[in-house]
Amino acid sequence: MPVDSDSLTAFRKQVTSARSLDAPLWEASRHLVHSTDWPATRTALAEAIHASSLADDGLKQTLVAALPLDLATEDRTSAAMLLKQLTGLPVTKALRALCVFFKVGRPATAKWPLPAVTPDTLDRFIQTHHNPFDVLVEQLPASVLDLGAGDLSFAEELATLYEPPLTAQHRPLVLHCLDRLDPSSQLGGPLHAPPLRLNRLRSKPGLEFRFYGDQDMFALDSLERDQRLAARYLIVTCWAPATPTFAYEPTRLSARCLAEELRRTKGDSRQIRHGKEPALEVNHAGRSLLFPAWKFDIRGPLSLLELMAGRGALCVLGAVDSQVCWEILSQLIDDPRVRPTDVVLSAETLPEIFGETYRQLSALPVGGSCLLSDLTPLRKSFPSVLRTSSGQPAPYRFRQVKIQRGALFEGLPASSTARRFQGMSEETPPWLLTLVPEPVSIS
Ligand SMILES: C[S@@+](CC[C@H](N)C(=O)[O-])C[C@H]1O[C@@H](n2cnc3c(N)ncnc32)[C@H](O)[C@@H]1O
């Protein structure tokens, strides 16, 4: 059946605008076009097209015919031209856009509801509230993902503060936590979640609590596929982001520069066996220290920012130490001169690299706050450094970045590391960063 050219033009426009209007579903649609999920998506999409209110039957039939049976074979190539004609987009983006337009969501979106709040609303919220977590009582769903959750003291403080007001509103607090530390490891000491705290959290009636130990935050595919995690949370948070993991950006610093810097600041290290498990032995200041084997895996802020922006409507980084904070800021600022190649950020190099922004932020008193965009323009688009399940990076940026100085803030839940900063007189005060991510519209 032929397709009317006017209805095709109108359809193309609608598909493009549906994509930018429903950012959460666009984000979630990445999973729908994963080769293992595609057969189920294809069936749901064909049904949704048939059942839709599109007036042009020819267009409906052409759309269904354009859906490739298999995304991995040449069927994909033959579908490419037709999909391009119908949507103006390359294959994967075309299929994702059709999923968004026909509202095909994978089952995970049913199990854990997705936030629908817009970046604009969150931007206004963080500018008028000193506590970003208060958004949980204003927006749906009240869901939080805590990355690198350590001993779960932040999780417990969050639950203690927000479960009662949410229970009064007859809605649960969804709180999912994960940490790479294996709960059965002899290493990691105080970062382990104590069994009593875990039991308390698991038995709170108004709390949908999950904890995944031995879980790398950069390997979430299977947790998501099994719906043990939501595709997106109202808040993704990370307290005291691990160092050196996030203290150096590997797209800026070469492997050689990183190895030299680690040797200079931490000491010589080597992989060994500690009883039955692998471990990293570090000789620091004449002492031999043992850590989990992955302790010196350097991922850098770009990975963390992309992970958080993809999974949270709002991103909160608490108790960020100065070194990690400046390395994060060097990615958030538009001016590429704050990202020099192979220059380690330090007390000596920071003033020259960041100039006036360094002076203004250093002068911020504990308890003070500012918007980064008031000091310097924010970066307009971020390069993707993560492998996504669909193989297609989702371009993003931060619409707003709020900076607060200090470890503890009145009324805000805090982690045990944040509380420990109080006693560290030789440490400079840490930072709290609240970021509102938004997709960069793709034309
Ligand atoms: C400095 S501790 C902070 C713990 C806790 N958030 C706090 O503030 O007390 C960093 C935590 O991140 C965890 N971690 C490091 N790399 C990780 C990764 N790739 N995935 C998940 N957790 C990770 C560590 O095991 C550790 O518990």
Least confident of 12-16, 66-70, 108-112: 108-112
pLDDT of residue 265: 93
pLDDT of residue 74: 64
Q: How far is CA 42 from CA 4, 24, 36, 341, in A?
A: 24, 20, 11, 45
Ligand 1 atom, smallest distance to 149 CA: 6
Least confident of 109-113, 318-322, 354-358, 437-441: 109-113
More confident residue, 113 or 34: 113
- 255 alpha carbon to ligand 1 midpoint, in Å? 22
> CB pairs under 8 A, 24+ apart, for 268-273?
269/296
> Does residue 17 carry a pLDDT above 70?
yes
Mean pLDDT score, 322-339: 98
Q: Say if ligand 1 is within 6 A of residue 339 CB.
A: no
Residue type, 106: R
Residues 6+ apart with CB under 8 A from 326: 345, 350, 354
Q: How high is the mean pLDDT of the chain?
A: 91
- 179 alpha carbon to ligand 1 midpoint, in Å? 6
Q: How many CB atoms lie within 10 A of CB 419?
A: 15
Q: Are 166 and 160 in contact (CB under 8 A)?
A: no
CATH number of 111-247+297-439: 3.40.50
Name the residue of 179, 238, 316, 386 to mutate for ligand 1: max ligand atoms within 8 A of Cβ: 179
Q: How far is CA 361 from CA 97, 137, 369, in A?
A: 41, 31, 9
Mean pLDDT score, 405-421: 96
Q: Are 381 and 397 in contact (CB under 8 A)?
A: yes
pLDDT of residue 427: 77
d(CA 443, CA 437): 19
pLDDT of residue 1: 60
- Distance between alpha carbon 44 and the CA centroid of its chain, in Å? 28
Q: Say if ligand 1 is within 6 A of residue 338 CB.
A: no
Domain with CATH 3.40.50 in the chain: 111-247+297-439
pLDDT of residue 312: 97
Q: Say if ligand 1 is within 6 A of residue 56 CB.
A: no
Q: Say if ligand 1 is within 6 A of residue 181 CB.
A: yes
> Does residue 22 carry a pLDDT above 80?
no
d(CA 40, CA 393): 22
Mean pLDDT score, 302-328: 97
The DSSP element (H or E) to which 165 belongs, if any, is: helix 153-168
> Does residue 442 carry a pLDDT above 70?
no
Least confident of 85-89, 174-178, 244-248: 85-89
Mean pLDDT score, 392-417: 94
Q: How far is CA 167 from CA 142, 159, 206, 207, 315, in A?
A: 11, 11, 6, 9, 24
d(CA 139, CA 117): 7
Give the model confidence (pLDDT) of 50-86 as tens digits: 887 777 788 888 999 999 988 877 677 778 888 998 9
- Token reading at 167: 């229970």
- 314 alpha carbon to ligand 1 midpoint, in Å? 19
The three-class DSSP label of residue 289 is strand
More confident residue, 338 or 441: 338
Q: Say if ligand 1 is within 6 A of residue 180 CB.
A: yes
Strand 233-239 and strand 143-147: the pairing is parallel
Mean pLDDT score, 196-223: 96
> Does residue 20 carry a pLDDT above 80?
no
Ligand 1 atom, smallest distance to 319 CA: 8
Nearest of 114, 101, 41 to residue 390 by alpha carbon: 41
Phi (first) and psi of residue 52, to 5 degrees = -75, 170
- Token reading at 4: 């009317």
Residue appearing with tokens 């949980």:
136
Q: How confident is the model at residue 244 (pLDDT cuts 50, 70, 90)?
A: very high
Ligand 1 atom, smallest distance to 146 CA: 6
Q: Are 86 and 66 in contact (CB under 8 A)?
A: yes
| Global pTM exceeds 0.85 | no
d(CA 83, CA 79): 6
Q: How confident is the model at residue 104 (pLDDT cuts 50, 70, 90)?
A: confident
pLDDT of residue 389: 56
Strand 396-405 and strand 431-439: the pairing is antiparallel
d(CA 369, CA 406): 10
More confident residue, 327 or 20: 327
Q: Say if ligand 1 is within 6 A of residue 179 CB.
A: yes
Mean pLDDT score, 375-402: 87
Atom 11 (ligand 1) nearest CA: 148
Ligand 1 atom, smallest distance to 416 CA: 9
Q: Are 238 and 149 in contact (CB under 8 A)?
A: no
Q: How confident is the model at residue 108 (pLDDT cuts 50, 70, 90)?
A: very low
Q: Are 309 and 437 in contact (CB under 8 A)?
A: yes
Give the model confidence (pLDDT) of 248-299 as tens digits: 999 999 999 999 999 999 999 999 999 999 999 999 888 999 999 999 999 9
> Does residue 391 carry a pLDDT above 60?
no
